[in-house]
Amino acid sequence: MAPSFAINGDFSVGRVTPPSATGRFAAVYSDVQNSRIHHAIPLPSVLKGPFTIVDGPQSSAAGNPEEITKLFPQLFGQPSAALVRSDSQAAVPNQKLKIGVVLSGGQAPGGHNVISGVFDYLQERAEGSTLYGFRGGPAGIMKCKYVQLTADYIYPYRNQGGFDMIRSGRDKIETPEQFKQAEETVQKLDLDGLVVIGGDDSNTNACLLAEYFRAKNMKTRVIGCPKTIDGDLKCKEVPTSFGFDTACKIYAEMIGNVMIDARSSGKYYHFVRLMGRAASHITLECALQTHPNITIIGEEVAAKKMTLKDVTDYIVDIISKRAEDNYNYGVILIPEGLIDFIPEVQHLIAELNEILAHDTVDEEGLWKKKLTDQSLKLFEFLPKAIQEQLMLERDPHGNVQVAKIETEKMLIQMVETELEKRKQQGKYKGGFRGQSHFFGYEGRCGLPTNFDSTYCYALGYGAAALLQSGKTGLISSVGNLCAPVEEWTVGGTALTSLMDVERRHGKFKPVIKKAMVELDGAPFKKYASLRDEWALKNCYISPGPIQFTGPGSNAISHTLLLELGA
């Protein structure tokens, strides 16, 4: 029978009962949101029955183990843990637990499923347990702001995007007073464990808390979970951070649409800036999914010590060549953090911060004499609007607001100027019109893909298993992700093994190094082997909207697939 088309999100149909007066559900859900609530998530086999924990060999650190051991005397050297099936029903004690969970930092699709995974584990494996959600990020721990998470409370957030179940925040537990506050909270709630869902900083913090609690002989254990759409928290045991898959697919949908638009009208170059400040994984993954004409990877720009002029010329060369084939359109991907990868821009900004902090800026431009030659040259090279932005928009400390610089617009103007020059020299005969885009917030809270839904649920379920098994200072690790879900591995990796130190204010600080795009890694090499073809031919792929059933609905990211060598 032919379908009849009916309304989406009818004002009366499918109303979801609010779990609380201030909760999410004063309103109704869309059909798709509703259908996702009821989506059943598969579990890796090892989590379906009794399991036991097998410890690996003693671990070290990613760098400077002698400093890491001083910073983490209790935890350094811990083995990683793997869950394996066990025949014994009592492999792990089935005792009641009190667990807290916290979301830290920027949103990433799947966070709610990590919490659902923890909750379901407790329901199924530790009957009578209690789960608390700290509200508004780590500040919720320090201020002891929490909510008890019940089945009813969690239910409407299953497989939904966002962090709004308990919200997130960017506060950090850093000072001795703040550690004391955290101690008071977990003691007040009598917590056996804490699950910290966050990025590199938050997981470092999780490990510091674990160390602190252990040093004080407290029972509270801490397990981290790898969250960030940026994809820069990963290692051998943690193949990807959650949210990366969904965010990239949302951006790739938009990029694919813009590509078809570019080809249909034939008159625009679309400059697309993509979220991802520190590393360019998102940009690379979106390139692999969509085949744009030009992709700028920050790590390559840094490795080749490219200047802004070099980047501009690289773009302009391709645009000129395309014009010879009568292609006066295209799509160009730019990572949000591009200018952070260009040393000369960093120097200019540092000099500007210094000058503007101490001097007044005269109309005649005498102040510019204080710039070094190189910085002055760069400053004069910049479009006027960007010059003004650098001079005018200051943060409360008087510093240039680098994050506010719209790199895509800056590049459009620089490319335009250079093309005009080449036109006058008779070297370019095309027509150029730039359109700018920034895709960022749209991707952080989308409905998680089947992959992120499943991965997150396993991360949470596994985190609870580790806590019940008495583990602390580990990051929940789910692996073998290219295999069927049944075959995924589950365990925990010593957080100290991911750490190195950085010198800050004369002290060593532990850090989990951000995983950058590796120029000799499989994803970059794949892109590099294809980019010349993509540049001149139009090999666009339009992934379309994320599907939850049917073809493409269980696709895995190219990055993961290439890195795992599957």
Which one of residues 478, 481, 494, 498 is an interface residue with a second copy (CB under 8 A)? 481
At a CB cut-off of 8 Å and minimum separation 6, what does 6 contact? Answer: none
Residues 485-514 touching a second copy, rule: CB under 8 A, are 485-486
Nearer to a second copy, 55 or 533 (CB): 533
Is 365 among the residues that bind a second copy (CB under 8 A)? no
- Confirm or deny that 106 is annotated as ligand binding: yes
For residue 254, give both structure tokens. Answer: 């938009």
Nearer to a second copy, 7 or 90 (CB): 7
The span of 35-43, 90-98, 194-202, 462-470 binding a second copy (CB under 8 A) equals 35-43
The CB-of-271 to a second copy minimum distance in angstroms stands at 12
Distance of CA 331 to the CA centre of its chain: 23
Binding mask 164-203 for a second copy (x = CB under 8 A): x--xx-----------------------------------
Nearest to 418 by CA among 432, 403, 439, 398: 432
Nearest to 119 by CA among 145, 152, 83, 168: 152
- Confirm or deny that 325 is annotated as ligand binding: no
Is 264 among the residues that bind a second copy (CB under 8 A)? yes
The CB-of-304 to a second copy minimum distance in angstroms stands at 26
Residues 111-140 touching a second copy, rule: CB under 8 A, are 136
Nearer to a second copy, 144 or 530 (CB): 530
- Please list the alpha-helical segments (H only) found in 189-243: 200-215
Out of 120, 230, 245, 340, the active site residue is 230
Residue 482, number of CB atoms within 10 A of its CB: 15
- Does 359 qualify as catalytic in the annotation? no
Determine contact, residues 91/50, Cβ cutoff 8 Å.
yes
- Confirm or deny that 192 is annotated as ligand binding: no
* Main-chain phi, psi angles of 210, to 5 degrees: -60, -45
Which one of residues 7, 89, 217, 565 is an interface residue with a second copy (CB under 8 A)? 7
Is 552 among the residues that bind a second copy (CB under 8 A)? yes
The span of 89-97, 301-309, 449-457, 471-479 binding a second copy (CB under 8 A) equals 449-457
Distance of CA 468 to the CA centre of its chain: 28
Angle between helices 281-290 and 522-536 (to 10 degrees): 50
Rounded CA-CA distance 80/82 in Å is 7
- Confirm or deny that 525 is annotated as ligand binding: no
Is 229 among the residues that bind a second copy (CB under 8 A)? no
Q: Tokens 């609870």 sit at which residue?
A: 464
- Confirm or deny that 171 is annotated as ligand binding: no
Rounded CA-CA distance 274/290 in Å is 14
Rounded CA-CA distance 251/287 in Å is 10
Residues 513-542 touching a second copy, rule: CB under 8 A, are 537-542
Q: Compute the chain's Rg from CA coordinates.
A: 25
- Confirm or deny that 251 is annotated as ligand binding: no
- Confirm or deny that 329 is annotated as ligand binding: no
* Main-chain phi, psi angles of 330, to 5 degrees: 170, 180
Is 28 among the residues that bind a second copy (CB under 8 A)? yes
* Burial status of residue 165 (CB atoms within 10 A of its CB: 0-12, 13-18, 19 or more): buried
The span of 236-244, 249-257, 367-375, 423-431 binding a second copy (CB under 8 A) equals 249-257
Which one of residues 19, 79, 443, 492 is an interface residue with a second copy (CB under 8 A)? 443
Is 451 among the residues that bind a second copy (CB under 8 A)? yes
The catalytic residue positions are: 230
